Amino acid sequence: MKPNFFPFVLPPVFFFLLLLSSSLPSSLSTDYHYPKNCLPERCGGLINVTFPFWIRDLQSDYCGYPPFELQCDNGVAKLSMMEEDYHVLNISYQSRTATVSMSSSLTALNNCLSLPYYNLSFSLTPFAVSSLNRELVFVYNCTAAVNGSTEIACLDKGSYVYLGGEYQVQESKGSISDHCFAAVIPVLNSPAAEINNYSKLLADGFLLNWSAPDCSECMRSNGQCGYNNITRNFMCICSDRAHWKSCSEGSSKTALIIGLSTAAGGLSFIIICSICLILFRRWKVQRRRSKLFKRSASFAASNTECELGSSFSSPIFTYDELYEATNGFDASKELGDGGFGAVYKGKLKDGRVVAVKRLYENNFRRLEQFINEVKILSLLRHQNLVTLYGCTSRRSRELLLVYEFVPNGTVADHLHGPLASASLLPWPARMSIAIETADALNYLHSIEPQIIHRDVKTTNILLDGSYHVKVADFGLSRLLPLDATHVSTSPQGTPGYVDPEYHQSYQLTDKSDVYSFGVVLMELISSKPAVDITRQRSEVNLANLALKMIQRQELREFVDKGLGFESDYRVNAMITEFAGLGLRCLQSDRELRPGIKEVVDILRKIERIGFRDHEGHQRGEEDDAGKLQESTLLKKTDSPYSPKSVTERWLSMASTLSS
């Protein structure tokens, strides 16, 4: 056995001993207070909470089943289902029902955006909506009132609500007529139910059925019902130890056999996982080496490697061939300024169009930064990151980097730059840009060692021929060592995007990128630049302007008028959630900002608001197939510089949202 195998073997052995000791009979390991941890508890007005329900921080996690976990928040019991928090108003253990209400519905009276826009459905066992509920139906964008309905006062004309009959779990109102849509929510079947007080109906909640193993036999034997997190089965918690069904069954010998069997199974599982992990890491290293070799061999002009370190390699180009490819670095070929030099468009002898980054003349003090950029880009593989083709040797007369050419400019160009007047980026396109950019940053933050971009901004977010994101300019990036939580460095970055805490501590974390991305989110919904000296002094920075206007409830004035914020309720809901996420990213205290992984998840949830079809269902595999077909067609367009065909796809999507 190789020495480096021991770090993987020792943890399983330790875990085996721990598991064995915890599985022995009461003569060897007993917690005599075990049953007392599962006595009934209360949360506000909800009393006698017991198996299968359990309250986090008040009862141990073995006192109930995981799906029945409650959180007591200021006297309110909350149950999390389908990524939504529900207030638990009452639990009936005799009828096995619970009365719950959606948290968001409690604000519906003062905030129309909290009203439901899609059907409520439950597919997560062990809960199911009871058929004893009635239907509360919300209809939107109707040209005529529905019989027996009441107009929703806080919305534009054409929105109504009415009480239906018995709630049908599988029923979906969907499209009532052209441009008229419905959302069905269950409410209690109360004789006093009045449609004019639909906010109270939502707050009073609805009835849920639940199912769990029978606890009566255990309770008759003076035990407490619980859940074994190891075997994932029901258990009866007794004064001596845990039993399968009741406190009167079994023996110490049986328990020992069960404990040893469980421990042996756990040990075998962990050893197998450890071996798989070792083999996977070895395969990953070999695969990376193989990819680098193939990539290097594919360049005919490259027969040696950048001599920048032993842990990475990239093909090199000669200065002369890059000089010729850019027509002698002609000013007409200049695309802009990168992290530490100008970027030129060039065409190699093999026909490939590339972008060549050139270090500023006689500025060789940035050699370390040049080496750092090559090192980082040589390690990265992601569809939304710009690809490094190669570089010149560091002994070349000039230091040059060769990237893939990204033809459709930057996001800044399309929002408030030279391309902004040609065609408006519609909302679905901006939503896609946000998701793909966040996904690229999530990749940088999740790899080992972690990478902090340090200069996230719309001028560093490029758009390819199909208008997909390519995050660029890693001239300021730094590798974050595994044992570090921040990078201390000299001030760099772009005004308007820099983390406020950066100027106090000169320390960067992944939350610094999250702040910069928050500024990008505000640019996407406003089409305003991050810094504009023509604005008032306190509003020169877009982050300050966004915080001020949103806090004053002036989001409508802040949003770009061309995005349909006022004309399309789905776009309105998406942008409102989008702006809320932006505010979280812009928190001055970095500990209050979400991680980039959470940002990606939230953005995908927001995107799903716009992909619900006329029947209230979320588009699934058909949409994915449609996107793939559209992407294939876009690659066949004659001019990758023209957004016409892409715009038609966006406009079609926007039309679907507004219809």
User: Which residues are part of the catalytic machinery?
Assistant: 455
Q: How far is Cα 321 from Cα 398, in angstroms, rounded to an integer? A: 13
Amino acid making up residue 243? H
| Peptide linkage before 449 cis (omega within 30 of 0) | yes
Cα(384)–Cα(405) distance, rounded to whole angstroms? 13
Helix (H) or strand (E) holding 516: helix 510-526
AA identity, residue 614 = H
Written as six digits, the tokens of 402 are 């060769």
How are strands ordered across the β-sheet holding 180-187? 150-151, 160-166, 134-140, 180-187, 175-177
3 state SS of 319 = helix
Is 511 annotated as a binding-site member? no
- Give the Å distances, CA to CA, from 37 to 34, 67, 230, 255, 326: 6, 19, 18, 22, 74
Measured between its terminal Cα atoms, the distance across the chain in Å is 66
Number of neighbours of residue 634 by Cβ within 10 angstroms: 18
With the CA atoms of 596, 597, 599 and 601 taken in that order, what torsion angle do they form, in degrees rounded to the nearest 10?
Answer: 170
Q: CB under 8 Å to 302, separation ≥6 — which residues? A: 296, 315, 316, 317, 390
H/E element holding 90? strand 84-92
DSSP 298: T
Joined tokens for residue 174: 């969907």
Q: Are 531 and 495 in contact (CB under 8 A)?
A: yes
**Phi first, then psi: what are they for 560, rounded to 5°?**
-55, 125
Tokens (6 digits) for 553: 């409830």
Amino acid at 461: I
- Phi and psi for 389 in degrees, rounded to 5? -85, -35
Collapsing DSSP to helix, strand or coil, 464 comes out as coil
Q: Are 49 and 34 in contact (CB under 8 A)?
A: no
| Six token digits for residue 611 | 């992909």
Give Cα separations from 555 to 64, 102, 117, 211, 431 (angstroms): 44, 26, 21, 45, 17
Residue 221 three-state SS:
coil
Q: What residues are designated binding site for ATP?
A: 357
Give the residue ranges of the annotated binding site: 357
